[in-house]
A and B are shown apart, each in its own frame.
Chain A
Amino acid sequence: MALSNLLEIPAAGFNFDNATRNAALEGLFEGQKPKPMKTGTTIAGVVFKDGVILGADTRATSGEVVADKMCDKIHYIAPNIYCCGAGTAADTGKTTDLVASNLAIFSLNSGRNPRIIMAVNILQDMLYRYRGQIGANLILGGVDCTGNHLYTVGPYGSVNTMPYLSMGSGDLAALGILEDGFKPNLELEEAKQLVRVAIHAGIMNDLGSGHNIDICVITRQGVDHNRPYQESEYKDNRKVNYRYRPGTTTILTEKVVPLKLELVQETVQQMETA
């Protein structure tokens, strides 16, 4: 326990420290608070013969507006473990960062490579403690000494493991493709194709998913994070160029005022260089 988590376990119960601040801020927005950015997403993972493949779309929405067209949803946890996140973008990003730091500290302290099940346990404990208030639906995948693993952790802290998984608002579309096409011990190219088609189904049939497809292949040999693996065929052509060349704004007057500095004190410190 001391090895993995250098952060203090917080006091039991809810933390209401920010309640007064939030109430004051709410008054400023006159009822139209900005909505948290969600990743209304399609993420999927497949276990194949030599490892695990994770795939995700790249659209992040804030209400009905696309907030980010090239959002990175495949987060790094450890050299052999990556995690796809669906739900609230801030929650998935911060939660995965937290686990990544903890696992890095654990590796350094113990001299051992982290296992996927360890990341899963830490995430499960943390999300359960927050009773679903952290909106993170995660798919963790990786290869360790015990084999190729794929797990999903829900926002309330439930864990499930399957050879193929999908989460996010486009999960049903992707799941249909995965249920139909999955076979045990797929080859690399077949598995990549399966994940690509599954994410594509999510992009085409779900409004919350879109743009490019990112793929991350994890094997014993290493990780291949392809971003983007496939670009969207729908690109917008901007009519106006928003880059302004230097000199667009004319300079009317220029005034140079030299600063007069007075030397008050001068000290010299010898550096010990052995």
Chain B
Amino acid sequence: MEKRCLDSGVKGVSTGTTILAAIFDGGVVIGSDSRASMGGEYVSSKTINKVIQVHDRIFCCMAGSLADAQAVTKAAKFHLSLHSIQMETPPLVISAASVLKDLCYKNKEELQAGFITAGWDTKKGPQVYVVSLGGMLHSQPVTIGGSGSTYIYGYVDAKYKPKMSREECLQFATNALALAMGRDNVSGGVAHLVVITETGVEHVVVPGNKLPKFHDE
């Protein structure tokens, strides 16, 4: 098993991935693929869950080393839960993103994990934040991450419109993930999507064979 992880820079299982999040009118869609790989040649899991719920209306997507990302999200869940109890109010999305940023920045030498945090709160409504590898925190209306994101920058730039409807945004996210999974060898499996609005959270899972097909498939 050791021979599989020597080539890639990440030790152990990596989530070499495609993750994205986009704001629509009234909510936010966050999604990812479901492949976990080792050394760029072995798929250690076809159905790994990369969209983790850190609070009632806040989710985050992980990229990078699976062990590091799972450890950071566990710590973040704990911190957010404590914060929420102390403040006696649901946490803001920026708080969740800040917790992740703090962990990533303070331990940047040891960690290899990046995140996209998305959610809904009463103060600013739907928001998307990206926390990169070194601990940079940035807010954007739509963001993509992971190794597969390089193949869909053009698609996202061209097709994203602010104030889309829920269905349009869901279709946009599914298409983006399908395109990235089609070109990136370390992204694949099923598309996990989560729609977060003021009223609730909805999980949408699109199996590999039901993903949209494009002209060459």
Binding site for B on A (CB under 8 A): 86-87, 124-125, 127-128, 131-132, 137, 154-160, 162, 167-169, 171
21 contacts between A and B (CB under 8 A): A87-B1, A124-B70, A124-B74, A125-B74, A127-B67, A132-B11, A137-B1, A154-B12, A154-B13, A154-B67, A155-B12, A156-B13, A156-B67, A157-B67, A158-B13, A158-B66, A158-B67, A160-B45, A162-B45, A167-B1, A169-B1
- A-B pairs under 8 A by CB, number: 51
Which residues of the partner chain A approach B65 to less than 8 Å between Cβ atoms?
156, 158
Which residues of the partner chain A approach B70 to less than 8 Å between Cβ atoms?
124, 128, 157-159
Contact between B48 and A128 (Cβ–Cβ < 8 Å)? no
Which of A86, A137, A160, A168 lies in contact with B48, CB distance below 8 A? Answer: A160
A217 CB, nearest partner CB in chain B, Å = 25
A128 to B48, CA, bound (A): 18
Which residues of the partner chain B approach A154 to less than 8 Å between Cβ atoms?
12-13, 66-67
A168 to B1, CA, bound (A): 7
Please classify how large the interface on chain B is, using the bins under 10, 10 to 19, 20 to 34, 35 or more.
10 to 19
Point out which of A125, A154, A158, A171 has the most chain B C-beta atoms below 10 A from its C-beta.
A158
Contact between B44 and A160 (Cβ–Cβ < 8 Å)? yes
Task: Judge if B136 is at the interface, Cβ distance under 8 Å.
Answer: no
Which residues of the partner chain A approach B67 to less than 8 Å between Cβ atoms?
127-128, 132, 154, 156-158
Task: Judge if B47 is at the interface, Cβ distance under 8 Å.
Answer: yes
Contact between B12 and A158 (Cβ–Cβ < 8 Å)? yes
Contact between B1 and A171 (Cβ–Cβ < 8 Å)? yes
Query: Which of chain B's residues 1-44 have a Cβ closer than 8 Å to chain A?
Result: 1, 11-13, 36, 44
Chain B, Cβ-Cβ closest to A171: B1
Contact between A162 and B13 (Cβ–Cβ < 8 Å)? no
Contact between B48 and A157 (Cβ–Cβ < 8 Å)? no
Which of A86, A155, A157, A167 lies in contact with B71, CB distance below 8 A? Answer: A157
Contact between B12 and A132 (Cβ–Cβ < 8 Å)? yes
A56 to B66, CA, bound (A): 26
B69 CB, nearest partner CB in chain A, Å = 9
A207 CB, nearest partner CB in chain B, Å = 14
Which residues of the partner chain B approach A137 to less than 8 Å between Cβ atoms?
1
Given A124-B71, A127-B67, A157-B70, 11 more A-B residue pairs with CB atoms under 8 Å apart are A124-B70, A128-B67, A128-B70, A132-B12, A156-B68, A157-B67, A157-B71, A158-B36, A158-B70, A160-B13, A160-B44
A127 to B12, CA, bound (A): 12
A160 to B67, CA, bound (A): 10
A171 to B4, CA, bound (A): 13
A169 to B1, CA, bound (A): 6
A131 to B47, CA, bound (A): 24
Contact between A162 and B47 (Cβ–Cβ < 8 Å)? yes
Query: Which of chain B's residues 133-151 have a Cβ closer than 8 Å to chain A?
Result: none
